[in-house]
Amino acid sequence: MDTSLDVEKQLVIAEVRRFVEREVMPVVHDLEAHDTYPLELIEKLKRLGVFSATIPEAYGGLGFDFVTYVQIVEELARGWMSLSGIVNTHVLVAHMIASYGTEAQKQYFLPLMAQGEKRGGLCLSEANAGSDVQAITMTASHVGDEYQLNGAKLWVTNGVNASIFAVLARTDPHARPPHRGMSIFLVEKGTPGLSVGRTFEKLGYKGVDTAELLFVDVRVPASHILGGIAGEGFKHAMGGLEVGRINVAARALGLAQAAFNDAITYAQQRETFGKPIAQHQAIQLKLADMATKIEAARLLLQKAAAKKDRGERCDLEAGMAKLFASEMCQEVTLEALRIFGGFGYTKEFNVERYYRDAPFMLVGEGTSEIQRLIIARHLLHQHKIS
């Protein structure tokens, strides 16, 4: 826990930690095994105020900064990474509305989202447009005082259970460069023409729905363009993805911490050649590297979150935190599995779940390769030779 936080925030983080240990850890194995959406846990998260964590107090939220929020996410992911994913997409959409929305949009959407009853979903990716966001083909045609949306979105977390979707679409297909002709629409569940096409069975990241959403002549009021002005959607999406990348880094950190905690405990209990394996140098070297990389990821994450809290662009810092934390998580979960030996490959222990969940962080909110490109471009800009 960051002890520089005020007492109220420390108490909230401590309460989330207790919630994870008392309510999540005892049931996660069965929920994950059956790929069950955790309705009871979500109800408890609502009462804890987690869904309102970053929503401004003026709109019914707790108004926490991102330095606090990432510690909440880390605790949730330590118990079950999928829980933090359900929260992430919601917080991301709420942040976009709070940062870029009109006052009317904030007054309408944010109090509903703060209660956790109406949860958010982000609709950016398409079948041929993942990291290349400018390649989207979904259209939004202006019809009177409304827009008519047509197309499909993939990989929508909370796609089945969310109620408020932030949907990126082309309002001007002839704009050059293409990003100048994109807008984000706030679309509510139940709008005629909006439906779930299919859901995806995944390697890990169980218990949270990942869906394809279909938009067939979906009519949306022009007043539901985020910010009220068409053509700003790409900028809004990129600002939201900063939050998403910070969140994924926090998820990776929590998952890696869980794997380390299990591994260092097991290493002191399991004996070979007459002594605990923790006393063998080979295992000690693994534990030292795991703990060092976790702490390094935590520091990168805190730096990115602090910069976001100052209202500054943090593409570089968020990219570094996401890249390092996700790659670190993959390494740490594998090392934990190896410390457990044969038992690590069974469902008797949690490390096999950690190992299946870890790859999501490598691709979620932009692949490691994309993060490296973003980082390099910012570095070249910063160090440009005049």
- Is the Cα torsion angle 79, 81, 86, 90 positive or negative in sign? positive
Burial label for 308, CB within 10 Å (0-12, 13-18, 19+), is buried
Per-residue DSSP letter, 23: I
Cis peptide before 56 (omega within 30 of 0): no
Catalytic residue among 8, 23, 365, 369: 365
Cis peptide before 221 (omega within 30 of 0): no
| Residue 279 identity | Q
Rg for the chain, CA atoms, rounded: 21
Per-residue DSSP letter, 55: S
CA 324 to chain centre: 16
Residue 365 annotated in active site: yes
Distances (CA, A) of 91 to 246, 290, 374, 381: 12, 29, 23, 30
> What is the rounded distance in angstroms from the CA atom of residue 74 to the CA atom of residue 312?
23
| Closest by Cα among 80, 119, 321 to 205 | 80
Coil/strand/helix, residue 182: strand
Q: Please list, in sequence order, all residues whose beta carbon lies within 8 angstroms of the beta carbon of residue 204, skipping any fewer than 6 positions away.
A: 81, 353, 356, 357, 358, 359, 360
Number of Cα atoms under 13 Å in the Cβ half of residue 65: 18
- Residues 272/278/280/282 CA torsion (nearest 10 deg): 120
Residue 266 in tokens: 């097991």
Residues acting as catalytic residues: 365
